[in-house]
Amino acid sequence: MRVESEESRTDLSIFASASVSLEQIRRPIERELDQFDAVFRRALKSKIGLVDIVTRYIIRQKGKRVRPMLVLLSAKACGPVSDRSFRGAGLVELLHTATLVHDDVVDDADTRRGFASINAVWKNKVAVLLGDYLLSRGLLLALEQHDVDFLNLTSIAVKRMSEGELLQIQKTRQLDLTEETYLQIIGDKTASLFATCTEIGAASATDSASLHQALRSYGENLGLAFQIRDDLLDYLGKKSIIGKPTGIDIKEKKLTLPLIHALRNGSRKDARQALRTIKDGAKEKQIEWVMKFVKEEGGIEYASERALTFAALARTNIELLPPSSSKESLLGFIRFVTEREK
Amino acid sequence: MRVESEESRTDLSIFASASVSLEQIRRPIERELDQFDAVFRRALKSKIGLVDIVTRYIIRQKGKRVRPMLVLLSAKACGPVSDRSFRGAGLVELLHTATLVHDDVVDDADTRRGFASINAVWKNKVAVLLGDYLLSRGLLLALEQHDVDFLNLTSIAVKRMSEGELLQIQKTRQLDLTEETYLQIIGDKTASLFATCTEIGAASATDSASLHQALRSYGENLGLAFQIRDDLLDYLGKKSIIGKPTGIDIKEKKLTLPLIHALRNGSRKDARQALRTIKDGAKEKQIEWVMKFVKEEGGIEYASERALTFAALARTNIELLPPSSSKESLLGFIRFVTEREK
């Protein structure tokens, strides 16, 4: 007996499969994403040749468009997708791209002040300037329609993102981090933009304040689960899967949840040794020892559990949404961030 | 016979002196600048220790506050200084500080990817993040009062400033620059913020659209005169006066107006030799030759004249303002930018 429509079968398939893919999550808004691409391409256009070259490169890479997806799914789950939804999606993607470009600034200073080669000059300067340019494009996109609410949400996100990163740098220097501060950092640097995406999506499709708040909370919790999982992958993944060497956070003296838990759970002696090793700049052998220490002290399980807790909160946040394929995709997103292997 | 009030004597003294100082220009708004300092300090406050350390350093340096001065003088010359004027001044100073911090990103990449020392890591990352943070603080300052007009002006300024810098980088690479493109670059990278300051000032004090436009044009022309003079100082100044070695623009392959004019005015042979010298990376002796070439071909006089032309335009732009000590200071500003020696 076949009672399901084509669409609902698609949704169910998300939950039948062992793990959910972004392709599946994307399905309810495939057409909208195409429209978004056009808006985004238009917003990036510039009369400056150098800007166009770099932005065309960005468009070609395209990325996973996770943030526009969150905007459009949140919108469609709350009401009809509107022009405001596309503008919101463009705004967050411009903002996200700006931060990615700024992240590209090579962390390499102090060494050769003065007259660097012109090739070197371009790299960092262009990254900083292009990031600023993208940010202003995003602002202007919102301002074109006097969308003060979106601008407010976005400015708060920019502030939280930079504060989170700066707090992390400060704490890295001090090698002293509690779980509470860790959660504040990842809330600011990662979850703030997720929450902005989902709230902007909801605000573009409905006037219901309770839905705005529900989607915002969903985004915040999803972001926390996402970042905990992301930090966990550094302890789980293999080089070939995550595309970067395992243990890089240890090398970079970055304390994340698995290690924070192990330091708190392990013996004073082991914890001291781990911190000293990290502080002095750990080499391969020593990194292996720290990883073993984290595993033996239950750091992996603890961080996994915490990610699942925030995932469960996110699920509760959107219980009030009416059933739809977009709601299913928002639920699929939760599974995606907690299950992903890379 | 003494008919002048204390105030008008102060104003006249600006024009009696051989050259006008920022202290003199500042006089009509000294109290307002103190109020501004308090607003600015408040806007920079952060709960993140690292942010507070760096921003306190910025406040201590304080700078010349040229941009807040332009906002407050433009306001006071058009009507009463209001809360909006202070907010506008805070916004542009935050924005300007953000770009200064971003400029601090050391132009030194490519050399040592991978694991730089943590000290090195901080420097660039902190500069980029702190710039983003300051930018978002500026936006939030304007958004607190739903000041969409100011935001619009500011976003356009950010866009023009980054575009101008990027176009300059592109043209530096190509070593090919006409006077027209040079004017576009300095208009975007420098004059755009000056124009934003003076328009925001006017808009905070009067509803007269013709005054908004007049002050905007004044700011744009003042900015052009300022940047031409700034570029000229590289050809005029002595190490000890301008605080940086003469000829640095040549070393950095940056074509500015004196050189552009000389290349156009000189013989084809000399121009080719100058370009080749610059392209290959000029050393002391060769820089001296290029400087001599620029002087002999009248590059210095030409650039000085052009600066004075824009200064005269700026003067005309504000003829319609009623007489006041603030108007006198705006006129003093024109003299200041065209006469300054460092």
**Residue in A closest to B244 by C-alpha:** A114
Query: A240 exposed, middle or buried (CB, 10 Å; 0-12, 13-18, 19+)?
Result: exposed
Over the stretch A49-107, which tens digit does the pLDDT of each residue have? 888 877 777 776 667 889 999 999 999 999 999 999 999 999 999 888 888 777 766 54
Over the stretch B33-87, which tens digit does the pLDDT of each residue have? 999 998 888 888 888 888 887 777 777 666 788 999 999 999 999 999 999 999 9
Cα angle at A119 between A116 and A123, to 5 degrees?
Answer: 95
Å from B116 to nearest chain A CA? 6
- Is residue A330 within 8 Å of A74, Cβ to Cβ? yes
pLDDT of residue A80: 96
The arithmetic mean of pLDDT across residues A160-184, rounded, is: 88
Instruction: For residue B133, give the nearest of A109, A146, A163 by CB distance.
Output: A163
**Residue in B closest to A44 by C-alpha:** B159
Q: What is the CATH number of domain A17-339?
A: 1.10.600.10
Over the stretch B171-212, which tens digit does the pLDDT of each residue have? 877 788 999 999 999 999 999 999 999 999 999 999 999 999
Tell whether the torsion through CA atoms of B326, B330, B331 and B336 is positive or negative: positive
Å from A225 to nearest chain B CA? 24
Q: Collapsing DSSP states into helix, strand and coil, what is residue A8?
A: helix
d(Cα A106, Cα B107) in Å, to the nearest integer?
9
pLDDT at B260 over 50: yes
Å from A18 to nearest chain B CA? 36
pLDDT of residue A225: 98
- Is residue B230 within 8 Å of B257, Cβ to Cβ? no
- Is residue A273 within 8 Å of A280, Cβ to Cβ? no
Instruction: For residue B146, give the nearest of A130, A133, A148 by CB distance.
Output: A148
Annotated domain spans of chain A: 17-339
Chain B neighbors of A140, CB-CB under 8 A: 152, 155-156, 159
Classify domain B7-339 at the CATH topology level.
Farnesyl Diphosphate Synthase (1.10.600)
**Residue in B closest to A131 by C-alpha:** B162
* Record: contact B125-A51, CB cut-off 8 A: no
Chain A neighbors of B116, CB-CB under 8 A: 107-108
- Of B234, B274, B259, whose CA–CA distance to B182 is shortest? B259
pLDDT of residue A266: 94
pLDDT of residue A141: 82
* Record: contact B129-A162, CB cut-off 8 A: yes
pLDDT at A17 over 50: no
Q: Mutation test of the interface with chain A: which of B153, B155, B185, choosing the one with the most A Cβ atoms within 10 A?
A: B155
pLDDT at A121 over 80: no
Instruction: For residue A106, give the nearest of B124, B143, B152 by CB distance.
Output: B124
Å from A111 to nearest chain B CA? 8
